[in-house]
Amino acid sequence: MRAPLGMTLIVTLAACGGKSPDLNTDIAQVRAADAAVTRAITAKDADRISEYYANDAILMPTAEPMIRGRAAIRDEWQHILAIPDFTNQTTTQDAKVSGDLAYTYGVYRSRMMGENGKPVEEPGKFVTVWRRESDGKWRIVLDTYNTDIMPPVHANGS
């Protein structure tokens, strides 16, 4: 005997509405990796930051061309971290996972020395796409951020 359509719909929606333990674990792992990147930025450790990028990752920074590959992304982070008085505070607002892909997004507030030798504050937002690699680790495959204000000219000319 077939179940009434209404009953089938209720059972289907109930099954889709809950999160499986694996999904919860995946979200927790992505959030942990995201937090580790933030700690590495705070520590100004470009090597540690780059470990969270896939070999084929793409970084799309504000007002610059796309940067492809882990080594080039490491160099870009080294450049960013060398900006005089650079600090960065990041708040991840959400993380979602579907299979072996995930994304995080949020806001940041960077502080640095401006071209005129005065401190500059730069608020902005970011989106990061993660992929579970064959070793089971979540790594960034696409990362982009942009400011909520006109990008400042930094004291080191960048």
**Which pLDDT does position 157 carry in this prediction?**
52
Question: What CATH number is given to the structural domain containing 103?
Answer: 3.10.450.50
Domain assignment present for residue 101? The answer is yes
Which residues, in sequence order, are bridge partners of residue 109? 89, 123
Nearest Cα to 90, choosing from 111, 109, 105, 112?
109
Domain assignment present for residue 11? The answer is no
Kindly state the tokens that stand for 34: 């995201």
**Which pLDDT does position 141 carry in this prediction?**
98
Q: Is 12 helix (H, G, I), strand (E, B) or coil?
A: helix
Q: Which residue is it, tokens 């077939």? A: 2
Q: What is the dihedral of CA 113, 115, 118, 122, to 10 degrees?
A: -60
**Which pLDDT does position 154 carry in this prediction?**
58
Nearest Cα to 54, choosing from 137, 115, 116, 141?
141
Q: Are 67 and 59 in contact (CB under 8 A)?
A: yes
Domain assignment present for residue 64? The answer is yes
- What is the residue-level pLDDT of the chain in tens, covering all 158 positions? 444 434 333 333 334 444 445 999 999 999 999 999 999 999 999 999 999 999 999 999 988 999 999 999 999 999 999 999 999 999 999 999 999 999 999 999 999 998 889 999 999 999 999 999 999 999 999 999 999 987 656 555 55
The residue range of the domain holding 142 is 19-147
**Which pLDDT does position 3 carry in this prediction?**
44
**Which pLDDT does position 116 carry in this prediction?**
87
Rg of the chain's alpha carbons, rounded to an integer? 20
DSSP code string of 24-43: HHHHHHHHHHHHHHHHHHHT
| pTM of the entire predicted model | 0.81
Q: Is 90 helix (H, G, I), strand (E, B) or coil?
A: strand
Domain assignment present for residue 4? The answer is no
Angstrom distance (rounded) from CA 133 to CA 148: 32
Domain assignment present for residue 13? The answer is no
Domain assignment present for residue 154? The answer is no
Domain assignment present for residue 99? The answer is yes
Domain assignment present for residue 48? The answer is yes
Domain count, the chain: 1
